[in-house]
Amino acid sequence: MELRIDKLLAICNEFKADTTKTGKKALLKREANNPIFKQYIKYVLDPLNTYGLQEKKIKKFLGTNHSKGIGNKDIFDIFEYLLQNPTGTDHTAHIVARFIDAHQSEEEKRFLLESFTKKMKLGISEKTVNEVWGKGFLNEFNVMLAKKFEDESHKIKGRKFVITEKYDGQRAVFFKNSNIISCYSRDGKRITGLVEIEQELLRLADGVYDGELLCWNHEELRDREVLQQTLKLTRKDGNKTGVRFFCFDYLSIDEFNDGKSKLGYLERREINPLNNKVICNEFKHACLIEILHIGNDLEVIPDMLAEMEERGKEGLMLNIADAPYECKRSDNILKLKTMLTADLRIIGFERGKPMGKFENTLGKFIVDYKGYPLGVSGISDKIREEVWNNQSNYLGAIIEVSYFRESQNEKGGLSVSFPQFKGFRWDKQEPSYN
DNA sequence: GCTCGAGAGTGGGGATTGGAG
DNA sequence: CTCCAATCCCCACTCTCGAGC
C-alpha cells in the first residue's frame, strides 16, 4: 500500500465531518485493514508518543531557505526520527519544517503541522480507537478516579462507607510481579528511581499497589505546599529519596488488567500485604493509609471535613465499603473538598491556543489577584463569543471565581489553584476576597 | 421522550529539563 | 549564565452523543 499524505488527510477529514460517535466508530471499522492509516493514528494519538516539538519551534524554520532537499523521506520516517530524538533541537525542528515546506497545498501543510505537534483533532482518542481496533493498539492506562461527593451523595444513602484522608501528593501505581517492580503515574508514565519504596514493596506479595507519594515532611506543610514539595522530589532526575508511599488500594494484576476487582473495599484492605502491622513497623517508606471512620451516617462528615481544612489538609475520601475497584472514574469512591470563591476584577482577555477550538475567541479572562495577574477559564461557549466581540463592555467588570487554595510560587508571587469562572457580579464595583 | 454518563477537548498554576543565545 | 519551550504533575469545567430508564 502506498503512503500518501492526501489519502491520510482525506480520511481525517471524514472523521472531522462526522460528528456522531457511531459514525466515527464505523470509520474506524472501515479502516481496520488499512495498516498505513493505523500506523498514522498510532503516531498522532498514542499518549506515550511525544516529539518535543510544538508550533513555536517548528514555525521558526517554516518558509526559510532549506539548504538540502528532503531526499526520499516520507512522513513515517520523520515520525520515527522524532520518536528516537524527541529533543526539540533546532535541528529536529528544521527537519520537520523542511518536510512541511516541501508540500504545496496549505491544507497539507496544516495537516502535517497538526500531526507532528499532536494537535490533530478527530473526535476520537485512545479509548474509542482501542474499542474498535482492539485493546492495546494504543497505550491506555486507567486507574480508579473519584467523583465529587456533592454530585453523588444521593447514591450512598444507607450504604456503609469508609472515610480516609485525601492526600495532596502525586498518584503512584506500583506493579509488583515476582522480583520485578515498576511504578506509573496517573497517566501511565513510568516513574523511576523510587528505590527506597521499591525495596520495601519487593518483600511483599505480588499485585497492584495504588496510592499517593508524599514528601517526608508533609505533616509540617499546609495546602499546596505538600504537592509542590512532593513534585520537587519526584520529578528530579535520578534516584528519588525522601518520599513516602501511602497505599490506599490493592488488587491483583489480572484484576487491574480486567478493569475491575472481585473484592470490595474493606476486603481488599484486609488482604493488602501492607495491612500486616509486623511488616509495616519495619517499613519506613511504604504504609497503608489509616481509616478515619466507618459507618453509614453522613452527618459525621461536615465536622471531619472542617477539621481537615483547619489543619491545611486537602479533604476526605469516601469509599463504598463493599464496592469493587474500577479502572475509571467511579462512584465507588468520592472526594470531599471545599472550594473557595473570590470576586475579582477583569484586567484583560486572551484568545485560545493555536490550532484549538478557541483560537479565534476568548480563551480565558485575566483578572487581578492581590496585584498579580491570574488566568480564569471554565467559561461557556456563548459567554466566550459575547465577551470576545464586546471586550470594552467587560473590561473592569467583577467576576466570581471559584478556586481551591491560594498558592505561592518560587518567586513569591501569589496565585490560586484551579480558578474557574462562576458568573458576573454586576452588583459589585470592587473585588473582595473571602 | 428524557435524563445523565462517558468521552473529548477546553482551560488553570507550578515545577523540571534541556537547548538557544 | 539566563531565558524559554515543552512536558507533565495536580486539576475543574463545558459540550455532545447516545445508552438506558
At A110 the three-state DSSP class reads helix
The whole-number Å distance from A411's CA to C19's C1' is 50
Whether the per-residue pLDDT at A4 is higher than 60: the answer is: yes
Nearest of A73, A57, A55 to residue A5 by alpha carbon: A73
Looking at residue A408, its pLDDT comes to 95
Tens digit of pLDDT for each residue in A216-249? Answer: 999 999 999 999 999 999 999 999 999 999 999 9
Q: Which residues of A spanning 25-84 put their CB closer than 7 angstroms to strand B?
A: none
Q: Tell whether pTM > 0.85.
A: yes
Which of chain C's bases lie under 7 Å from a protein CB?
4-19
Q: Residue A402: which nucleotide is closest by CA–C1'?
A: C12
Which residue is closest to C14 in terms of CA–C1' distance? Answer: A380
| CB A194 within 8 Å of CB A233 | no
Tens digit of pLDDT for each residue in A350-386? Answer: 999 999 999 999 999 999 999 999 999 999 999 999 9
Looking at residue A234, its pLDDT comes to 96
Nearest of A32, A281, A297, A270 to residue A161 by alpha carbon: A297
The whole-number Å distance from A64's CA to B7's C1' is 40
The residue assigned the cell 495504588 is A210
Average pLDDT over residues A305-333: 97
Reported as a pLDDT band with limits 50, 70 and 90, residue A281 is confident
The whole-number Å distance from A90's CA to B21's C1' is 12
A312: DSSP letter: T
Which residue is closest to B9 in terms of CA–C1' distance? Answer: A357
Whether the per-residue pLDDT at A109 is higher than 90: the answer is: yes
A298: DSSP letter: G
Nearest of A161, A139, A133, A141 to residue A149 by alpha carbon: A161
Which residue is closest to B13 in terms of CA–C1' distance? Answer: A417
Which of chain B's bases lie under 7 Å from a protein CB?
6-21
